[in-house]
Amino acid sequence: MCDYWDTKEAQTKSATTSAARMFDSNGVGPHKHVSKSMSYIQVELEMEVEWGKPPTIGEVFIRTPTKNNGTFVDRKAQEVHEAYKKNKATKLAALENYESFDGTSSRSEISQEEDYEIFRRSTVTNDKREYFGVGSLWSYINGK
């Protein structure tokens, strides 16, 4: 093994992959998560078993880059989380203030589809227009 890592080819590959892992996109540092080798879909299923109901995409996102002490592993994840919380609170406030035609409030919860849209508006995309923070869960949600 030592002989392999002493080769120029192995050192070049190591430098390239290390730089990719540490890429500082938009000045917020490299993206990290704490879900180890679990996919986002596996995290979602684990949360569903734990909670007894399907989690929203925002809840899955919050779990993956959050340490046990409640802090985020990178600044980008924290910024997306803060935007998501603000957008969700705005939507909930709008629902509470909305009255139906008979003068009663029609609902006080956000649907899963509305939550997906709130998260879409709260997160960012890369050059391939892939949403940050939930990996392959987007294609799973969209039924692809």
143, pLDDT greater than 70: no
- To which residue do tokens 């799973």 refer? 140
Mean pLDDT for 52-80 is 85
Say whether pTM exceeds 0.85: no
Number of domains in the chain: 1
pLDDT, residue 33, reads 58
% of the chain with per-residue pLDDT over 70: 75
Q: What is the mean pLDDT of the chain?
A: 78
Residue 9 lies in a domain: no
Query: What DSSP state is assigned to residue 9?
Result: H
Residue with the bigger pLDDT between 136 and 90: it is: 90
Residue 72 lies in a domain: yes
> The domain containing residue 47 runs over which residues?
24-141
Residue 14 lies in a domain: no
Query: What DSSP state is assigned to residue 26?
Result: G
Residue 3 lies in a domain: no
Kindly give, in sequence order, each residue whose CB lies less than 8 Å from that of residue 96, ignoring residues fewer than 6 positions away: 105, 108
Do 112 and 56 form a contact (C-beta atoms < 8 A)? yes
pLDDT, residue 25, reads 58
Residue 5 lies in a domain: no
Residue with the bigger pLDDT between 104 and 126: it is: 126
Residue 30 lies in a domain: yes
Residue 140 carries which side chain, given as an amino acid letter? Y
Terminal-to-terminal C-alpha distance of the chain: 41
131, pLDDT greater than 90: no
